[in-house]
Amino acid sequence: EIVMTQSPAALSLSPGERATLSCRASQSVRSNLAWYQQKPGQAPRLLIYGASTRATGIPARFSGSGSGTEFTLTISSLQSEDFAVYYCQQYDRWGTFGQGTKLEIK
């Protein structure tokens, strides 16, 4: 089983700041990596797939990078609606999620 590890577990930032979230795979997943955003009481929302391709309707302030075992989700300038939990997911072998990073308002 491929284990996905996200860091940090929680991140406190202010609106307008840049957020950098990390995700590490226990073995190479090539570029088969997706990012999701989840708000309380809601289903996850797909942000990024293929490590760097934004899903339909996702604002340009969200960007993804990386390949192999190291991946990053960057939010260039945080908006109030961006404070949520973010999950990475590998789909190179089936589908495994990371444990999530909670992005909180400072």
Partner 1 sequence: QVQLQESGPGLVKPSETLSLTCTVSGGSIISYFWSWIRQPPGKGLEWIGYIHYSGGTHYNPSLESRVAMSVDTSMNQFSLKLSSVTAADTAVYYCARHISQGGTVMDYWGLGTLVTVSS
Binding site for partner 1 (CB under 8 A): 1, 32, 34, 36, 42-46, 49-50, 55-56, 87, 89, 91, 94-100
Q: Which is nearer to partner 1, 69 or 101 (CB)?
A: 101
The candidate with the shortest Cα–Cα distance to 36, out of 77, 71, 80, is 71
CB of 16 to partner 1, least distance (A): 28
The span from the CA of 71 to the CA of 51, in Å, is 7
11 burial level (CB within 10 Å; 0-12, 13-18, 19+) = middle
Is 1 or 16 the residue whose CB approaches partner 1 more closely?
Answer: 1
Tokens of 35: 């990012």
Q: Which residue lies nearer to partner 1 by CB, 51 or 75?
A: 51
